[in-house]
Structure 1
Amino acid sequence: MGIFSRKNHFEVDGRTVLITGGSQGMGRGLGKLLAQKGANVVIVARTQGKLDEALKYISSFAKSPQTQRFHAISADLISPEENARVLDEVTTWNDGHPPDIVWANAGMAHPSLFIETPLETLRSQMDMNYWAAAYLAHATLKLWLRPVTPKATPTDPESPKPRHFIMTSSVACFVGIAGYCPYSPAKAALRNLADTLRSEVNLYNGFRRSKNPPSSSGVPAADVHIHCVAPGTITSPGYANEQLTKHPVTMVLEEGDAVQTEDEVALAAVTGLERGGFLITTQWLGHAMRAGALGGSARNGWGVMDTVFSWVVNIAWLFIGPDMESKVWNWGKTNEVKLPA
C-alpha cells in the first residue's frame, strides 16, 4: 500500500467531499476525520434529525472553522433520481463545482440464513448495498467526465488534482460466511464494480493525455481514481441491529474477530487512500482475507507485499478453511436447525 512512497495520494484540504451514509457509524467517523483534515463535508442519509445531529458533531472538528463549509441532504439513495438530485444540490451549494471526492458509504446488513430470509429482504439488501452505490457511481462519473477544459499534460503544474470515487464494501466480499447470504453477495458485486470501473476510467484518463484530442470537444476536467474500502466489524447502531437477526452459527464463526470504532475504521481507510491504495482493508484479519482473495484485483503499491502475503494466506487457508467448515457442521450436528415447511 504505497510502502515505498511518502506522497499523499488523497489530499482533501480545501476540497469538497460527499459522503453517503454519513449520519452514523463509519460515515460519521469519516466526516469527522476529513473535517479535521480541512475538507468541506456534505453528508447524506435518510433521516433529517440524525443528519442534523451528525452535521453539528462533524463541523465541530473543522480544521479551519472560518473557511470550511458543511451541509446535509436527506435522500433515499436506492432511487436513481435521488442520486442525481443529491449531486445537483451539492454542485449548486459548491458554487457550481461538482464535489471533488464522492464516497458511496451507505449500506446496512441483515444477516440471516438464506432460506429463512424473505425474498423482499434479499432484494432490498441488494438495493441498499449495491444499487445505491452503482447509481451514485453512474451519476458521478457522467458528471465528472463531461468535456469542460482544454487538454492538460501530465507535467502541467496547473493540472487539477484527481477526483476520487470510493465505495465501502466489506470483508464479507472476500469469504462466504454462513448467515451473510442477504448481504455479502451485494458487497462482492460492489468490489467487482470497483475493479471494472478502475479499468474503465483509464480510458478517460488516457484521453486527457491524448496528443490530438478533438479540438472542439475538450476533455474531462481532472483524472478520476476509483477505490474500494472493505472494513470488518464496526461498533455502531447498525451493528447492534445486526445482532438481532444474526444466526448463532454466524456468531460462532465471528468469535475473536477484531472490532473497530467508527474513528478507528475511518482512520485506517483514509490512511490507505493517502498511501495510494485501491482495495483497502482496515485491520489485520481484513488484510489477510484480501490477500487470499485478490484474483484479478489491482495490487496496492508495487504489489510485492500483497503477492508474498497472498502466498502465506493461501497456505494458512489449508487449515483455516476446514476449521470454519467444521464449526458450521458441528453446530448443525449438536443443535436443532429450522427446516423449511
Structure 2
Amino acid sequence: MTENSNVSFDFDGRVVVVTGGATGIGYAIADLFARSGATVVIAGRSQDKLDAAVASLPASRAVAIRTDVGDPDDVARLVDGTLERFGRLDIVVSNAAGYVAGDILDVSTSGWEGLRRTNVDGFFHLAKTVLPHLAVSGGSFIATSSVSGLAGDWNQAVYNASKAAVSNFVRSLALDWGGRGVRVNAVAPSLIKTEPVAAIVNDPTLAARFEDRIALGRIGDAEDVAPAVLFLASDAARYITGVVLPVDGGTTASTGQPRI
C-alpha cells in the first residue's frame, strides 16, 4: 500500500497512458491511477523495470508497452497498441524525462541531444500523436515539467531549458486544443526523492541546503506529486487548462533570499 492509499479519485473505466511510468514519479502516478479505478498503460525503455512495475500494481489494472518516446514510430506503436487493446484513450501523462547537470561548457553535444530527444522531442511526438484521440474522448493531457523550467536553477542550464520548453508547449497547446475539448496542463515538481538525484538526497549536507529553500521543510516524495496529476486529470479540474502547477513544498514562493 502506498502513502497515497487514502487519496480518493474515481477514474473507473478510464484508460490512462503514463510515459516513464516504471519508476519514480511516473510509477507513483500510474499506481494512484490504478488504485483509483483506471486501466493504466505504462511506457518506458527498460523491459525489466516495466515488468517489475506491472507486477507490483493492482492486479489487472496495468499493462506495459516498451517505448522510447524520442522515436516517433515507438510512440505511434504505443498509442496504436493502447487503442487496439482497450478501444479508447482518456488521459495521457507525458512524464518520461532525462537529466543532465553541469555548466554548458561541460555538456557535450551528444549529452544535449540526448536530453532534448527525451524531454522535448519526446513530448512533441507524444502530443502530436495523442491529441486527436483525446479530442474524441474529451480527454486530458498532462506533462511533468519542473520548477527549474519556470525560472532557472544553478548549474543545469540545459535541463532548465528543456523543461521551460515543456511548460510553454503546455500553455500553447492548451490554447490550440481547448476549443476541441482537450485540457492540457502540467505539474512542476521541485527536487523529489527519485533515483537520478539520489546523490543529493542521500548527502545530509546537500539535502539540508535544499530543505532550507522549502517552506514545508522537507524534500518531496513521488507520492506528493501524483495526487496533483490526478486532480488535473479529474472532473474537478474541468475548467482548468494551460496551468503549470508547482508541486514544490513552497520552493517557488521564495524570492531566493536566505532565511533570516
Q: TM-score per shorter chain, which class?
A: 0.7 to 0.9
User: What is the SS of the residue equivalent to 1:71?
Assistant: strand
C-alpha distance 114-26 of structure 1, shift in aligned 2 (>3 A): same
Partner of 1:32: 31
Distance across 2 between alignment mates of 1:259 and 1:24: 18
Distance across 2 between alignment mates of 1:100 and 1:269: 14
1:282 and 2:247 aligned: yes
- CA displacement 1:141-196 (0-9 Å, x = unmatched): 133447xxxxxxxxxxxxx6x30011110111112112111211010010000000
Amino acid at match of 2:68: D
Distance across 2 between alignment mates of 1:240 and 1:261: 12
More deviation in 20-29 or 125-134? 125-134
1:200 and 2:176 aligned: yes
1:127 and 2:103 aligned: no
1:73 and 2:65 aligned: yes
* Deviation, structure 1 residue 116: 1.1
Distance across 2 between alignment mates of 1:196 and 1:242: 34
* Deviation, structure 1 residue 254: 3.4
* Deviation, structure 1 residue 251: 7.7
8 Å CA contact 1:227–1:279 kept in 2: the answer is yes
Distance across 1 between alignment mates of 2:13 and 2:82: 15
User: What is the SS of the residue equivalent to 1:254?
Assistant: helix
Amino acid at match of 1:175: A
RMSD, aligned α-carbons = 2.7
Partner of 2:82: 90
1:48 and 2:38 aligned: no
Amino acid at match of 1:233: L
Partner of 1:4: none
User: What is the SS of the residue equivalent to 2:175?
Assistant: helix
User: What is the SS of the residue equivalent to 1:124?
Assistant: helix
After TM superposition, the structure 1 = structure 2 runs for residues 1-341 of structure 1, keeping only pairs within 5 Å, are 12-60=11-59, 69-94=61-86, 97-145=87-135, 162-204=138-180, 223-240=181-198, 254=210, 256=212, 257=214, 258-274=218-234, 275-276=236-237, 277=240, 278-286=243-251, 288=253, 317=255, 320=256
User: What is the SS of the residue equivalent to 1:41?
Assistant: strand
8 Å CA contact 1:168–1:228 kept in 2: the answer is yes
C-alpha distance 225-251 of structure 1, shift in aligned 2 (>3 A): same
* Deviation, structure 1 residue 264: 2.0
8 Å CA contact 1:176–1:184 kept in 2: the answer is yes
Distance across 2 between alignment mates of 1:202 and 1:103: 17
C-alpha distance 286-166 of structure 1, shift in aligned 2 (>3 A): farther
Amino acid at match of 1:195: R
User: What is the SS of the residue equivalent to 1:43?
Assistant: strand
* Deviation, structure 1 residue 232: 1.2
C-alpha distance 178-287 of structure 1, shift in aligned 2 (>3 A): closer
Distance across 2 between alignment mates of 1:27 and 1:185: 21
8 Å CA contact 1:87–1:98 kept in 2: the answer is no
Distance across 2 between alignment mates of 1:75 and 1:26: 17
Distance across 2 between alignment mates of 1:87 and 1:241: 35
How many residues get paired?
A: 241
Greater Cα radius of gyration, structure 1 or 2: 1
* Structure 2 unaligned spans of 5+: 1-7
8 Å CA contact 2:34–2:61 kept in 1: the answer is no
Percent of counterpart pairs with the same letter? Answer: 27
* Deviation, structure 1 residue 32: 1.1
Amino acid at match of 1:178: W
Amino acid at match of 1:285: G
8 Å CA contact 2:150–2:167 kept in 1: the answer is no
8 Å CA contact 2:140–2:233 kept in 1: the answer is no
C-alpha distance 106-281 of structure 1, shift in aligned 2 (>3 A): same
Distance across 2 between alignment mates of 1:13 and 1:231: 27
8 Å CA contact 1:48–1:74 kept in 2: the answer is yes
